[in-house]
Each structure stands twice: as C-alpha cells, then as structure tokens.
Amino acid sequence: MLATLGKLVKPMVFIGQSSTGGSGKGLKQKDQVQVVQRFRNGGFNVLVSTCVGEEGLDIGEVDLIICFDASKSPTRLVQRMGRTGRQREGKIIFLLTKGKEERVCELTFFEYLNIFFIQFIENFLLLAELQCGI
C-alpha cells in the first residue's frame, strides 16, 4: 500500500536485535544506528517500529506517532509521547479495540496523570518552601 504513495512516503522498518516476527531476525545495533541516522538525515520519513523505537533513542524530529496497542505502563506511555513534538507540534494516535484494550489505555493515562499531578504538587510545595521559607 505504501508503494502507491510514491516518493511522498519513504518507510523503513526499525526493530530490535531479536525480533519474534517474520524471519525471526532483528537488526544488529550497528544497523539500528544507521537506520536512526538515515531517518534524522531525511533518507526516509516513516519509521515502522517495534517498542525499541520508544526506548531512550534520540530519533530526531517526529511529527506523528501511531500506536497499534495500549501500554500498561505510564513510563512507556511517556516514552512514546516523548518521541513527538520536541521541535514543533506533534500528535500521537492510539488505534485500540473497544473493550479491554481501550480500558487498559484509559487506566494508563489516568495513572500517568496521577503521577504527574502528585509530582507537580510536590514541586510546587518545595518551591513555595524555598521562596517563602515555609
């Protein structure tokens, strides 16, 4: 399907070192580095990635992320969201099935917001203590 879009969409697969899909082979670390470098340099503009793409890599400017599953971890949710919108506005889209997967995503967002809110209040109180000598 992507081939019909011609030069507009230039995709590249980005998987971990030991993938369980298809051939069972992953990308060596050297190849992963080359894929990220080519993406950052504009060699292609779409990364089709496993979870390896959300884990601490400086992938570069990303405008859109489409997730095909729900993460149960607020940390992984932040890692996913942190891949987009660094240099300019970005968007993340979750494609979920109704029911269990949808509820998992909602609970993860709720947990993330609770953590964020608690940290915000703690930082605010610490700042007030430093500023006002409370």
Spell out the domain ranges in the chain.
Answer: 2-132
Helix, strand, coil % over all residues of the chain, rounded to 5: 45, 10, 45
pLDDT, one tens digit per residue, over 20-55 is: 555 567 788 888 888 888 888 888 888 888 777 766
Q: How many CB atoms lie within 10 A of CB 14?
A: 21
User: Which residue type occupies 114?
Assistant: N
Q: Is the pLDDT reported for residue 76 higher than 80?
A: no
Give the CATH fold of the 2-132 domain: Rossmann fold (3.40.50)
The average pLDDT across 58-79 equals 77
Range from 51-55, 116-120, 126-130 carrying the lowest mean pLDDT: 51-55
Q: Is the pLDDT reported for residue 104 higher than 80?
A: yes
Give CA angle at 81 (105, 20), nearest 5°: 70
Give the largest Cα separation in the chain, rounded: 65
Q: What pLDDT sits at residue 22? A: 55
User: Which residue type occupies 36?
Assistant: V
